[in-house]
Chains A and B, each alone.
Chain A
Amino acid sequence: MGLNGDEAAAYAAKQVNPDIVAAYPITPQTIIVERFSEYVADGEVDTEFVAVESEHSALSSCVGAAAAGGRAFTATAANGLALMWEITYIASSLRLPIVMAVANRALSGPINIHNDHSDTMGARDSGWIQIYCENSQEVYDACIEAWMMGEHPCVQLPVMVCLDGFTLSHTMENVLTLPDDVVQEFVGERQFIRVKGHAGETEFRLNVETPLTMGPLDLQDYYFEHKMQQVDAMNEALKAIPEVDAEYAKVSGRRYGFLHPYKMDDAEVALIGLGSAMGTVRYAVDELRDEGIKAGLIKMRVFRPFPEEELVKVVGDLPVLGVLEKAASFGAPGGPLYEEVKTVFYDRERKPLIADFIHGLGGRDTSPKMIKGVYKSLLDAKEKGKVSEKVSFVGVRE
């Protein structure tokens, strides 16, 4: 059916039928909560819709509902995510598998409503799984799979489904949806791990019959251990996500992975990146191939946990790799994705030359011509055997 990215997220959420949706409208996410509130008004879901007064309250409500054993969904963007900041860390440390769609938008200021990844990249250390989508189909599928990733017994983490504001959120595409009962069967009922609390072993949920204390003061003697558990949960997510992808492929016929390589087998130059810009890169790769240049693309779908081993495998003997990203880290040696890709390869014997290309901030358009220019400069680096400009800003006026 014809759905834009926001509608795809709302439709998937409707089919999952969560116990609670608590959200506050913010462009370009607004359509998600608008559509969902219509589903509630029309009686198409059993969900309790909480119209909160801020994003801080939205995520706080989700934390409470998830702690009580419910499935909680919310959506936000940019400054809304910034207002949730405090609670993002609480949701992950309390190990609550909330699902949140983020319509990626540039953070203020100056105020801007268009797409880049400054919002979710800022939240990369908050302990959430992060999935970046290229199109509405991926948004729909991720908003279903996310529940099973987050609720996996070895994982128990919240999940962000990231979709580019306007480029995806407001652009209608044809989306293959699943029947309601197939989605319902796939997600089933939320399953609970068992924990040993002060009143004995019980399901990991607040229940007056079997009391449990969540979120108490956690000082020098235990906090570090609980952070280690979050480190471990992300390592477990590296194993659990492919399991969920495989199960989802069985019901949908669509198989996702951490990375989606395109024409990488014989590539002599490639770009890695996240989100909707990867469609433009794929187009540029095809044009470059027509020109006889062996270009390739690595689309990264899962950024947290970072799929290190998978990346090394896909890169193989590639001589030069460009990182194309929509976030700047002010004062850092490069953008966040660049730094992590470089960290992965620093200790490896086989490693490509790596250069960073920051583009599209505040929704600035990146054309196929600009992408081809990036490939050409990478080929130049390959020829010289070194990268002359570690970090380039593509599409900015001087």
Chain B
Amino acid sequence: MSELKPGWKDLPKGAVSTKSSRDYETGDWGIERPEFDRSKCTKCMLCHFYCPEGAITVREDGYTEVNVKYCKGCGICAEECPVSCITMVMK
């Protein structure tokens, strides 16, 4: 968040948000990301439900994947995975 921000004369009235949460890329908060071992994955999707950031989505084929633009590297998915197919690795 080091870009030049607009001054009060340029901001919309009423403290209206100029960006959506989608524009707020939180991926640079953390240093790790999950890596999936799909040979062990049972497609239970628990990682998708547990991800507090909504960064883990379910693919057409039923496997999950992470969007590193938003992944904060919290590791909850790796902790919760019942078959331990997720490991946290450096981004």
Contact = CB atoms under 8 A, between A and B. Distances in A.
B5 interface: yes
Contacts of B20: 198-199, 213
Contacts of B7: 225
28 contacts: A93-B15, A94-B15, A95-B13, A96-B14, A156-B13, A193-B13, A195-B16, A196-B16, A196-B18, A197-B12, A197-B17, A198-B17, A198-B19, A204-B13, A204-B16, A213-B20, A214-B15, A214-B16, A216-B15, A218-B15, A222-B5, A222-B11, A222-B15, A225-B7, A225-B11, A226-B8, A226-B15, A233-B13
A226 to B, nearest CB: 5
Contacts of B14: 93-96, 156, 195, 204, 214
Interface majority SS (helix, strand, loop, mixed), chain A: loop
A228 interface: yes
Contacts of B1: 221
B17 A221 contact: no
B18 A198 contact: yes
Give 8 nearest A-B pairs by CB, closest first.
Answer: A195-B12, A213-B17, A228-B8, A198-B20, A225-B8, A95-B14, A226-B15, A95-B13
Nearest to B1: A221
A216 B13 CA distance: 13
A96 B14 CA distance: 8
B17 A216 contact: yes
A198 B14 CA distance: 14
Interface residues of A, number: 27
A216 B20 CA distance: 11
Interface of A: 93-96, 156, 193, 195-199, 204, 212-216, 218, 221-222, 224-226, 228-229, 232-233
What size tier do the contact residues of chain B reach? 10 to 19
Interface of B: 1, 5-8, 11-20, 23
Contacts of B17: 197-198, 212-213, 216
A204 B14 CA distance: 9
Nearest to B11: A225
Contact of A197 (B5, B6, B8, B16): B16
Contact of B18 (A193, A197, A215, A229): A197
Given A221-B1, A228-B8, A198 B15 contact: no
Given A213-B17, A216-B17, A196 B12 contact: yes
Contacts of B6: 225
Nearest to B14: A95
Contacts of A95: 13-14
A229 B14 CA distance: 9
A126 to B, nearest CB: 16
A195 B16 CA distance: 8
B58 to A, nearest CB: 25
Contacts of A96: 14
A198 B13 contact: no
Nearest to A94: B14
A96 B17 CA distance: 16
For A193, A197, A221, the residue with the greatest tally of chain B CB atoms inside 10 Å of its CB is A197
B16 A229 contact: no
A168 B13 CA distance: 36
A263 B18 CA distance: 52
A135 B1 CA distance: 54
Contacts of B19: 198
Contacts of A214: 14-16
A225 B23 CA distance: 21
A225 B12 CA distance: 10
A218 B6 CA distance: 14
